Structure 1
């Protein structure tokens, strides 16, 4: 996102605050402050329509798919990916990169995840197969 002129302080308070990770606000409000319906990169419906998870659930949090926890640091502290790009199940099969679907649905396979994504009318099929 740096190449799109998004900086750390667009989401994080530079001098800290009471929010987790010093975010400027909590939950999806951070993402939805820019990804509005008027923005071409915004949602085309509700959050739950976009995520196919119940509103307010862990699966309906923007970070669940676009910033999955990828690296363990000290103790049980995990760092989120900051590419903001959805890692597909196909990428898991090709490169071993964890995808958000099977990272949460640990009892499911990448084949299951691919089939689920193919059924989403909000997801272009070519994006699922990358």
Structure 2
């Protein structure tokens, strides 16, 4: 077995599993709860799922070493712990846009937790990502639906599986990039050093007023990422014109 990144192995996500290995080796298996290592991600709730991913992907988590110097787990209770958080005001201003959104991918869990899909539904990292993907060489972000990204959303938002409905909603041709859910609601505005990652507050909506106020560098607008020849004034006019059409379509 080869791991793509140092420090990321089975136990990083599934928890300390030495006891499980001994049980299986001695054919002395005992029933366990889904959250007991090795964690069964298919049977835990979305909050626990995200909390395990947050070990690495939550910048604001406070990581105090345990009694044996451990940082990535705790030796009692749930191995991933219930970490305290550092106030955002204590971080460098460079980590945030002036409109309040996160600029850096190190805050990717914090962005996800702002989503209504997380707050009110069962969204987790595993909804869209599969860390065991078989095409990892060509799919470095482990997307489940790399070639059909709308499936990440239409599994729940079933009304947009229909081409006519999605075109009416997006005001773009159904097969165009403008009708992909992620183009508007997860724009590529997060700094991942080597590339621009998608914003993970998944219900993000283009806000032309914020872009007018702070400028596109401090309040990037999904519309203007594609329509680069346009400006915030134009985006505002387009979005305002859509509102009565959406109201009538409901």
TM-score (normalizing by structure 2)? 0.43
Task: Select 1:107's aligned residue among 215, 218, 229.
Answer: 229
Counterparts in 2 of 1:43 and 1:111: CA distance versus 1, 3 Å: farther
Match of 2:178 in 1: 59
CA distance in 1, matches of 2:161, 2:211: 25
Gaps of at least 5 residues in structure 1 are 125-130
Asked if structure 2 preserves the Cα contact closer than 8 Å seen for 1:69 and 1:81, the reply is yes
Task: Select 1:91's aligned residue among 207, 210, 217.
Answer: 210
Shifted more, 21-30 versus 96-105: the winner is: 21-30
**Secondary structure of the residue that 1:92 maps to in structure 2?**
helix
TM-score (normalizing by structure 1)? 0.77
**Secondary structure of the residue that 2:158 maps to in structure 1?**
coil
**Secondary structure of the residue that 1:70 maps to in structure 2?**
strand
Task: Select 1:24's aligned residue among 134, 144, 150.
Answer: 144
**Secondary structure of the residue that 1:122 maps to in structure 2?**
helix
Asked if structure 2 preserves the Cα contact closer than 8 Å seen for 1:87 and 1:97, the reply is no
Deviation at 1:72, TM superposition (A): 3.8
Asked if structure 1 preserves the Cα contact closer than 8 Å seen for 2:183 and 2:222, the reply is yes
Match of 1:3 in 2: 119
Asked if structure 1 preserves the Cα contact closer than 8 Å seen for 2:212 and 2:233, the reply is no
> How many aligned residue pairs are there?
119
Match of 1:80 in 2: 198
**Secondary structure of the residue that 1:119 maps to in structure 2?**
helix
Counterparts in 2 of 1:100 and 1:122: CA distance versus 1, 3 Å: same
Query: Rg bigger for which structure?
Result: 2
Deviation at 1:87, TM superposition (A): 2.9
Gaps of at least 5 residues in structure 2 are 1-114
RMSD of equivalent CA atoms? 2.4
